[in-house]
Structure 1
Amino acid sequence: MKSTGLRIYGKEDLRVEEFELPKIKDDEILATVVSDTMCMSSWKLAKEGEDHKKTPNDLKHNPALIGHEFAGTILKVGKKWQAKFTVGEDYVVQPNLARDDTPFVPGYSYPYIGGDATAIVIPNEVMELNCLIPFHGQAYYEGSLCEPLSCVIAAFDAQFHLIPHTYNHKMGIKKDGNLLLLGGTGPMGLLAIDYAIHADVKPKTLVVTDINQEKLDRAKKLYPSDEVKMIFVNVNNLSIEEQKKLLLNAVDNEGYDDVFSLISVSPIVTLAGELLRADGCLNQFAGPVNKDFKATLNFYDVHYNFTHVAGTSGGNAENEAKAAEIIATGKLNVAKVITHVLGLNAAAETTLNQPEIGGGKKLTYPTKKFDRIELAKVDPQTELGKILAKHDGLWSPEAEKWILKNKPDITE
C-alpha cells in the first residue's frame, strides 16, 4: 500500500513524498491518519536533525516520518492483536513509549509511523506498551489533542507536597492552593488552564502570566471559572523584582504552592523558585533547547522551607487514556487551542516556521491538500467562515467534516 507523508532527512530537510508501506506482520496494525496537531518539539526535531536524541543516525538514507499528535482509523489488524483491536475503530497513539532499551518513538524515529502521513504501520511495541488507545470523541482533531493534554496531566500528577507531620508526599497539585503558570497563554498553557479549572483537584487561585496582552485577554475570555479565582498578569517590560512583587501581591503575599514554568529562561526559572511558599513545588514544564540550561535555586529554602522541583517530558499511556476519556466526554473543549489548519502540502513550511507564525496549535489534515488557514482571518461570508461563526470562531466537528469533504486529496 502506498502512503504520502512528511519525512525528515536531516536538519531543516523535510520532504512530502509518496512511499510504499511494507505488508504488515502478524503483530502490526495498518491505519489511516486523519489529523495531526503540531508541537514545538517537531520544530526542535527539524532544527536538530540527526543531533536529536530520538532520531536514527543516518536520516539521509533512512528518513523518519514526523508528527506525534495524531488520530485516525484502523484499516487492518495483525493476528496477534485481533482480539483487542478491530477494523474501523478510531484510535490515538501515546508516542512516549518509555522504553529502557531505546529512545526511538513514533513521530521522530520510525520510517512507517508518524502523524504527517496518509497511512501508517503501527509496530508491535506500541500495542505491547498499551500506547494504542481507542478514541470515541466527536472529531479526529480532538484525538490529536489527547497527546498534548496527556503532557499536562503528567505534569500535574508529578507535583508533590508533604503530608503534614511526615516526610511522605501526596502527589498532584495542592488542593485549594495557589497555582502559577509562567508564560501560560501558549497552546500548552491554555490546556493547563483548562485542566486546572476542570480537574477533580482544583487550586483556589490560578495566576497566568504573559507579555502579550492580546493573548492574556483571549485566555481570560476562553476560560472563565466560577470555582477558581482567575488572575491574568501582563509582565511585559517589568524587571524580575517588579514581577516578583506583582505576582506575590496577586495572592496576598502568600506565595505559590505550585509553579509551572512554561518558558525556559534562566531568570524566570529562578524567579519561580523565589515565589514558592513552604512546601511549594516548581515544575519546569518547558523543554529547554540548550542542553546546558541552568538556573539558580535557593537551597536555604530547599532545606528549611521544603521547596522542591519536578519535571516531566511528555505523558505516558495512562495519561493518554485519561486525556482521551476527558476529551471524549466533552469535559474540556480542546478546540480552543487551535488557531490554524492546513493540508499536508503545507506541513513542512509550517513545522519549520512555528515560532514566526505564532498563535496556538496548527492542525494538519494529512490526507488533504490546502494552504494554511488562520482561523481568525477566515472571511465570515464564506462557507467555512459561517461554520466558524456558529462556534464562536472555534474549530469544531462541523468544520472538520467540511474540510474533509471539500478540500482536495493530497494525492490529486
Structure 2
Amino acid sequence: MKVRGVRLYGVNDIRLEEFELPEIKEDEILVKVVSDSICMSTWKMVQAGKNHKRVPENVAEHPVIIGHEFTGDIVKVGSKWKDQFHEGKKFAQQPAIPGQMESPGYSYEYFGGAATYCIFPNDVIEKGCIWEYEGDSYFEASLGEPMSCCIGGYHSNYHCEHLSYEHKMGTLEGGDILILGGCGPMGLGAVSYGLTFENKPKRIVVTDINEAKIARAKEVIPESEAAEKGVELHYVNTANMEDPVAELKAITGGKGYSDVFVYAPVKSIAEMGNKLLAEDGCMNFFAGPTDTQFSANMNLYDCHYARTKIMGSTGGNTDDMKEAIEKSAKGLINSAVMVTHVGGMDSIVETTKNLPNIPGGKKLTYTQFDMPMTAIEDFGKLGEKDPFYKELDECCKKHKGLWSKEAEDLLFEHFGVKA
C-alpha cells in the first residue's frame, strides 16, 4: 500500500515522501498512526545520521521512518497474533525495546511514527512493546513515552540508611525534590507526576531562568493545586538570585535536597545541583547532552562522607509507560502540560530540523492530514480571520490553555479524520 511519511537518509536529511509499505507477514501488525509527538532525541539523531548508535549503516539506501512517540489504530493483525490483538482497537507502544538498540523512529524501514501507516515487526510484539489502549484521546498515549521517561527518573533514584547496603528505590518519601531547568515540557511532566507519586515528597522546587516559562508553569500547575495534594510547590527564577545555592538551600531549612533532577545539560547547572544535595541525597542527571565528552566538577568529599549519589536515567520501561497512560486516563497526571504546539504531517520535517530553535514545549503532530505547526497561544490571533482557530482557541482556554481530547476531536472533525 502507498503511505506518506518522513524518512531519514543521512545527516540533516529527512524527507516527506510517498512510498510503498509491503504486505504484512503472519507475525506482524499493520497500524494506522494518528498522533506522534516530536522528541529532541529525534533531532539529535538527524544531526548524527548513520553515526547515531541506533541508525543502520545503510540508511542512505534503506531510509528509516522517524518518530517514536506515536499511537493510533490497529488495522490488520497477522495470524500469529489474532488471539491477542483486535483490528479497530487503539494501540499504545513502548519504543525502548528490551535487549536491543534497534527501536522505532531510528532503526526500521517500515516502523516509525511519522507516517500514515507502519508495521510492527515480530521482535517488538514478542517483547510486549505494543498493547491495546482503552483511553479516550490519542495524544495522551503519544505523550506516554516522554512521561514514562519522567516516571523512570523518579523510580531510578535511590536512598539507603547509613551502613546499610539495601537500596530503597525511588525518590525519598517526605523528602525535598529539586528540578533544575524544570519549566520545559519534560520538567512540567515531572512536576505533574511528583504530585501523585506513591513516595510523595514534602516539597518540590522548580527552577528556570525564563520568566515566561515560569509564568506558564504556574498557570498549568499552580502552587495551589500542589497544596491540595499535600505538596509544597515553589517556582524559582535563579537568574534573580545573588547566591542561588544558598537561597535554594534556605527553602529546605538549610539541609539541602534529598533528590535533585538536572533537566538541562549545562555544566554550571549540574554543579549547582551537586552542591545542593542533602546527606544521602541522589542527583539524577536527566538531560542528555550531545557532547560525548560532557563533564562537570562533582564534590567527591560529600560523596564519601555525606553518601551523596550521582547517576543518570534515560527513557522509561514498559511498566513506566503503562503507568503514564493509566494515570493520564484517570486524570491523576496531566501530560497535556507538555504540549505547546500542534501540527500536521507536512510540518514534521522543518519542525524536527529546527526543534532547538522553536520556543515552548512539546510539538504534537497528527499524521493523517496537513497543518502548519502552530503554537496554542497563537490560536486566538489566527482565530480573528479563521473560525476554525477561533473554536480551537476557545476550547483550549476552557482547559487552562492546554490541549485536550475536546480540542483533538475538533481537529479530527475539521480535517475529516475518522478516529
Shorter-chain TM-score category? over 0.9
CA distance in 2, matches of 1:273, 1:129: 37
More deviation, 399-408/284-293: 399-408
List per-residue Cα deviations over 1:15-61 (Å, max 9, x = no partner).
Answer: 01111111111111000000001111111111111111110112211
1:309 alignment partner in structure 2:
310
Pairs within 5 Å for 1:115-126: 115-126=113-124
Normalising by structure 1, report the TM-score.
Answer: 0.95
Report the 3-state secondary structure (helix = DSSP H, G, I; strand = E; otherwise coil) of the residue aligned with 1:378.
helix
Letter of the aligned partner of 1:266 in structure 2? K
CA distance in 1, matches of 2:80, 2:155: 33
Normalising by structure 2, report the TM-score.
Answer: 0.94
Report the 3-state secondary structure (helix = DSSP H, G, I; strand = E; otherwise coil) of the residue aligned with 2:45.
helix
| Candidates 390, 407, 415, aligned match of 1:399 | 407
1:384 alignment partner in structure 2:
392
List per-residue Cα deviations over 1:75-95 (Å, max 9, x = no partner).
Answer: 011111112111111111111
Report the 3-state secondary structure (helix = DSSP H, G, I; strand = E; otherwise coil) of the residue aligned with 2:217.
helix
Note if contact 1:129-1:317 (Cα within 8 Å) is conserved in structure 2: no
List per-residue Cα deviations over 1:265-301 (Å, max 9, x = no partner).
Answer: 1122122111111110000100111111111121111
CA distance in 1, matches of 2:163, 2:151: 28
| Candidates 149, 159, 162, aligned match of 1:161 | 159
Report the 3-state secondary structure (helix = DSSP H, G, I; strand = E; otherwise coil) of the residue aligned with 2:18.
strand
Matched, 1:233 2:233: no
2:25 alignment partner in structure 1:
25
List per-residue Cα deviations over 1:326-358 (Å, max 9, x = no partner).
Answer: 112221121122111001101000011112111
Q: Structure 1 unaligned runs (5+)? A: none
Letter of the aligned partner of 1:297 in structure 2? M
List per-residue Cα deviations over 1:356-396 (Å, max 9, x = no partner).
Answer: 11101101001111111111011255222222233232211
Note if contact 2:220-2:400 (Cα within 8 Å) is conserved in structure 1: no
Deviation at 1:165, TM superposition (A): 5.1
Note if contact 2:36-2:114 (Cα within 8 Å) is conserved in structure 1: yes
Q: Structure 2 unaligned runs (5+)? A: 385-389
CA distance in 1, matches of 2:393, 2:304: 57
CA distance in 2, matches of 1:328, 1:237: 38
| Candidates 208, 213, 216, aligned match of 2:214 | 216
List per-residue Cα deviations over 1:209-262 (Å, max 9, x = no partner).
Answer: 0000121122122213121111111012657xx221121112121100000000
CA distance in 1, matches of 2:94, 2:9: 24
Matched, 1:142 2:113: no
More deviation, 383-392/348-357: 383-392
More deviation, 376-385/255-264: 376-385
Note if contact 1:370-1:407 (Cα within 8 Å) is conserved in structure 2: no
CA distance in 1, matches of 2:270, 2:330: 35
Report the 3-state secondary structure (helix = DSSP H, G, I; strand = E; otherwise coil) of the residue aligned with 2:109.
coil
Report the 3-state secondary structure (helix = DSSP H, G, I; strand = E; otherwise coil) of the residue aligned with 2:195.
helix
Deviation at 1:164, TM superposition (A): 5.5
Pairs within 5 Å for 1:44-123: 44-99=44-99, 102-123=100-121
Note if contact 1:135-1:328 (Cα within 8 Å) is conserved in structure 2: no
1:362 alignment partner in structure 2:
363
Report the 3-state secondary structure (helix = DSSP H, G, I; strand = E; otherwise coil) of the residue aligned with 1:73.
strand
1:298 alignment partner in structure 2:
299
Note if contact 1:34-1:72 (Cα within 8 Å) is conserved in structure 2: yes
Report the 3-state secondary structure (helix = DSSP H, G, I; strand = E; otherwise coil) of the residue aligned with 1:206.
strand
Letter of the aligned partner of 1:2 in structure 2? K
2:387 alignment partner in structure 1:
none
Note if contact 2:37-2:69 (Cα within 8 Å) is conserved in structure 1: yes
Report the 3-state secondary structure (helix = DSSP H, G, I; strand = E; otherwise coil) of the residue aligned with 1:287.
coil
Change (3 A) 1:22 1:373: same
Report the 3-state secondary structure (helix = DSSP H, G, I; strand = E; otherwise coil) of the residue aligned with 2:154.
helix
CA distance in 2, matches of 1:197, 1:38: 25
CA distance in 1, matches of 2:358, 2:246: 33
CA distance in 2, matches of 1:286, 1:30: 34
Letter of the aligned partner of 2:266 in structure 1? V
Deviation at 1:407, TM superposition (A): 2.8
List per-residue Cα deviations over 1:122-181 (Å, max 9, x = no partner).
Answer: 011111111112222221001101101111111110000004551211000000101000
Deviation at 1:310, TM superposition (A): 2.1
Percent identical: 43
Letter of the aligned partner of 1:91 in structure 2? F
Deviation at 1:398, TM superposition (A): 1.5
Alpha carbon RMSD of aligned pairs, Å? 1.5
CA distance in 2, matches of 1:304, 1:46: 43
1:193 alignment partner in structure 2:
191
Change (3 A) 1:38 1:375: same
Deviation at 1:207, TM superposition (A): 0.5
Report the 3-state secondary structure (helix = DSSP H, G, I; strand = E; otherwise coil) of the residue aligned with 2:239.
coil
Letter of the aligned partner of 2:26 in structure 1? D
Report the 3-state secondary structure (helix = DSSP H, G, I; strand = E; otherwise coil) of the residue aligned with 2:153.
helix
Report the 3-state secondary structure (helix = DSSP H, G, I; strand = E; otherwise coil) of the residue aligned with 1:151.
helix
CA distance in 2, matches of 1:388, 1:319: 28
